[in-house]
Amino acid sequence: MFDRLFLLVYEAVHRHKKRTLTAVVLVTLLFTAILPFIRYEGSIDLMLPPDREITRSMNFLKDSNLSDKMVVSLALTDSSMGKRELFEAVDSLAASLKKPYFKKVMTGFSVGNLMEEFSVLQYGPQILGDEEMSQIAAMLTPENVSKKIKGIYLQSMRPDGIFTASMSRTDPLGIKLMILNKLKAIPASMNFDVSIEDGHFISRDGRHAMLVIQTDVPMMDAVRSKGLVSELEAKLKLLPPYIAADIVSGHLHTVSNEKVIKRDIAVASYIASAAFLILFLGIFRDPKVIFVFIIPFMAVVWSIALATLVEGKLSFLVIGFGTSIAGISIDYGLLVYIAIKRGIDKVRMLKMAKLVTVDAMTTVFSFVVLFFSMIKGYHQLALFSILCVLICLLFSLFVLPLVISVKGEATERDSSVGDRLRNFKWPAKPCIAVWLILSAVALYQSMSVKFDSDLKRFDGTEPRILQMEKNFNTIWGGKDSQAIMVVTGKSLEEAMQLNDSLFKEASARLPKGEFSSLAYFWPSEKTRTENRARWLSFWKDGGEERLKSLIRSSSLQYGFTPEAFTPFFDGLYALPNEGQAATGVMAQLKERYVIERNGSVRLLSFFPDKKEYLDALAPIVKENTFIVSKLAISESMTRFTLKETKLLAPLAILFNILLAWIFFRSWKEALIALVPLFTGVVWFIGIMSFFNVPLNIVNIIAAIISTGVIVDYGLGMTYEYRYNLKLGTVVAVTLSAATNMIGSGALLFANYPALYSTGIAMVVCMVSGYLSSLIIIPSLISLMKPVETK
């Protein structure tokens, strides 16, 4: 059936040569013209597994406004300038950052407002819980009160007593220390080592100030992120010369990653193109070889357009693979070109077509395997790559002969290198022995290979931006990654109540101060009401009288008037001012802890992203609660990838074995043909392990793709040597390997880690696969009983 179909199409295109070529050129021009209008996806989300935990965490990170914040650190670079100049710069920058890009700018808190909002008599009754009230009760002893009164007397002697002594009138017991302990956690809750001065965030060294900018631009929106970053950078350029700025923002990563990927793709394309041209023109000395070279590029253009029709938006990562796919797909054109140059007849052309088609099918099936993955990005990659391979195959079989053998003449000039390679006799047994030993070593090494699931490794952000983050962390801390405990509720109060009980449990399980929660500063209304009732009952039921009596007896010796602490007693039963919590510092704090989306409320609590903390908190995760942790995401990814690899790798191997058997109808020949595949996989894992380079989701997929290519070498070489065909397969496989290595080797010049990782995996697989097909297959076949024809 293949023979009939092939000949039918082959003859048809030769009959309508002009029409065929015109149609190909026109469609290619059309697809090229629409390339600039195609939308690309820069996010790695597509490559993430659909695991419930990972999806929920990633969705949460996208929905929350956490990643839509930018932090700017301004530094004084001139020692003669001081805080005044620094704060002026902060204020003028903050004033210049306007909508639509910048939604809100926070430069600090007013400490004055902080003092008022968190005053003992306003704030204390609402947030001091059972434990703190017990502490207050324990303070009501003659010794303690006498000590406190003496403390106030001494405080009035201190220089700062000018500002603070009169405040003691509303706080004879020093309850403010309990509140101050809570306030200490406010800067810490930002995960920065920040101090507040004149209403501005300032570093401990007093030379840096910080602005927290909120924006509506989602971090993953590459186009708007670019606009946002340019706008901010333009504003920073207007700062005085003695101010330097560092930006920390996910948007910078998005913009930088896109820039790096684009640059990498361009560099890889230039390198691969130049190398292909030099190789082809140098070896064949025939300008028409340019058509072989053009085929993969045309296939990439066609595939981008067709895959976009199906997918809507293509990932940059998938397009990145296109460079390698181009290297892979050039083989078919090359085999056909060499065969035509050798002047083969229609019958041998048919044999060639069969080999090329099986080669293409092994590659296609190695991509088909990816459809069995649960990762959507792999489906896109599979679709794009299969299109690329099939288009290359069709062009090679039916279009290339139209432009190469114009008059049907043999045009081969020099095949001496290929023939020498073809006829070289490798010492079979020693070669097989060395191969077996090396493979055994690689197999042993591969047992201890490591797996790296850290997604940050695929972040190709430019060093300049990473340096800014390093500077920032040196000044402001915040290096440690934070995990988030999320509590959801239908209303703020419902979520806050759940948050209160969770906070109690979490605080008991983690070291003090490690769990930062809104419940610590501002519990739910229910808890606040209970706290206030407890406060009122404590003072009404004898607390007030007892304290008054104790103060009377101890204050006389220090000269206090009987009315010295009247403001405290007068304010004990005052009603709380709820308005402040809605507009003041508390409202700003809530922005960090509360997210309201689509009628539901999420309350966030933060803690260091450490395994022991995640383990400690796991038992208290209930319904409506979940933890977002990069560490947990990484662990889930490892589990998922290993699970998928266990399915995909055997499937890929099975497909290859089946295709090899279908082609040869002999197990022995099929197994010999699979030597490069075995060698490529085992040596790849062994070499990675030997050099202590961990496997990751990207290089595993790249290795699986490579298997589809190196299996072609095995099929071609086994076919060539076993049946002594002299189709020029050795030179074709060699050139193919060279082009593949150039295509994937070009990725070694990439700065984007995912592309670089792909390059390493493919080069290792291809080199080992090629060498085994060139040396081991002829050696193994030489040990077999020869066949004449099949």
Partner 1 sequence: MKIILILPTFLLMISAAFAAPEKTAEQPSDLPKFMSELGKRASDFKTLKTDFIQEKRMAMFKEKMVMKGRIYLQKPSKIAWHVDSPLRYSVLITDKLIRQWDEDSDKVQEISLTKNPIFQNVLNQMNVWFSGEYGTMLETNTVRIIKNDPLIMEFIPKEGNIAKKVIKTITITFRSDQKYLQQIKILENSGDVTTIRFTNTLLNPPLNNSNFEVKGRV
- Interface with partner 1 (CB under 8 A): 82-84, 109-112, 114-116, 150, 152, 154, 156-160, 162-169, 180, 183-184, 186-188, 193, 195-199, 558-561, 563-564
CB of 305 to partner 1, least distance (A): 58
Comparison of 312 and 513: residue with beta carbon closer to partner 1: 513
Under a CB-based contact definition with an 8 Å cutoff, are residues 249 and 67 in contact? no
Spatial CB neighbours of 171, under 8 Å, sequence gap ≥ 6: 120, 568
Supply 459's token pair.
């972040």
Comparison of 443 and 564: residue with beta carbon closer to partner 1: 564
How does DSSP assign 180-233, residue by residue? HHHHHHHHHHTTS--EEETTEEE-TTSSEEEEEEEESS-TT-HHHHHHHHHHHH
Comparison of 84 and 464: residue with beta carbon closer to partner 1: 84
3-state DSSP assignment of residue 178: helix
- Measure Cα distances from 733 to 413, 457, 771 in Å: 19, 34, 11
> CA-to-CA distance for 224 and 65, rounded, in angstroms?
16
Rounded to 5 degrees, φ, ψ at 140 are -80, 60
CB of 515 to partner 1, least distance (A): 16
Query: Environment class of residue 569 by beta-carbon count within 10 Å: exposed (0-12), middle (13-18) or buried (19+)?
Result: middle
28: part of which helix (H) or strand (E)?
Answer: helix 17-34
Amino acid at 701: I
Task: List residues bridging with 483 in a β-sheet.
Answer: 607
CB of 108 to partner 1, least distance (A): 9
Question: How many residues would you count in the chain?
Answer: 790
Amino acid at 257: N
CB of 160 to partner 1, least distance (A): 5
Comparison of 63 and 193: residue with beta carbon closer to partner 1: 193
CB of 208 to partner 1, least distance (A): 15
CB of 193 to partner 1, least distance (A): 8
Comparison of 559 and 579: residue with beta carbon closer to partner 1: 559
Comparison of 166 and 448: residue with beta carbon closer to partner 1: 166
Supply 560's token pair.
């206090």
Comparison of 558 and 690: residue with beta carbon closer to partner 1: 558
CB of 90 to partner 1, least distance (A): 13
CB of 88 to partner 1, least distance (A): 9
CA angle 475, 477, 483 (to 5 degrees): 155
- Asked if the peptide bond before residue 172 counts as cis, ω within 30 degrees of 0, the response is no
Comparison of 584 and 753: residue with beta carbon closer to partner 1: 584
Comparison of 191 and 499: residue with beta carbon closer to partner 1: 191
Comparison of 151 and 312: residue with beta carbon closer to partner 1: 151
Query: Environment class of residue 411 by beta-carbon count within 10 Å: exposed (0-12), middle (13-18) or buried (19+)?
Result: middle
Comparison of 83 and 104: residue with beta carbon closer to partner 1: 83
Under a CB-based contact definition with an 8 Å cutoff, are residues 283 and 412 in contact? no
CB of 185 to partner 1, least distance (A): 8
CA angle 191, 516, 631 (to 5 degrees): 70
3-state DSSP assignment of residue 516: strand
CB of 482 to partner 1, least distance (A): 17
CB of 690 to partner 1, least distance (A): 49
Comparison of 416 and 561: residue with beta carbon closer to partner 1: 561
CA angle 583, 585, 587 (to 5 degrees): 50
CB of 548 to partner 1, least distance (A): 15
CB of 190 to partner 1, least distance (A): 11
Instruction: Quote the DSSP letter at residue 627.
Output: E
Under a CB-based contact definition with an 8 Å cutoff, are residues 320 and 42 in contact? no
CB of 111 to partner 1, least distance (A): 5
> CA-to-CA distance for 690 and 9, rounded, in angstroms?
50
> CA-to-CA distance for 701 and 327, rounded, in angstroms?
17
> CA-to-CA distance for 254 and 252, rounded, in angstroms?
5
Rounded to 5 degrees, φ, ψ at 41 are -110, 120
Comparison of 190 and 674: residue with beta carbon closer to partner 1: 190
CB of 760 to partner 1, least distance (A): 46
> CA-to-CA distance for 97 and 215, rounded, in angstroms?
10
Comparison of 117 and 712: residue with beta carbon closer to partner 1: 117
- CA torsion 476-479-483-487 (nearest 10°) is 10
CB of 528 to partner 1, least distance (A): 22
Count of C-beta atoms within a 10 Å radius of residue 182: 16
Comparison of 129 and 477: residue with beta carbon closer to partner 1: 477
> CA-to-CA distance for 353 and 107, rounded, in angstroms?
70
Task: Report the Cα–Cα distance between both ends of the chain, in Å, rounded.
Answer: 18
Under a CB-based contact definition with an 8 Å cutoff, are residues 470 and 576 in contact? no
> CA-to-CA distance for 641 and 622, rounded, in angstroms?
27
Comparison of 120 and 775: residue with beta carbon closer to partner 1: 120
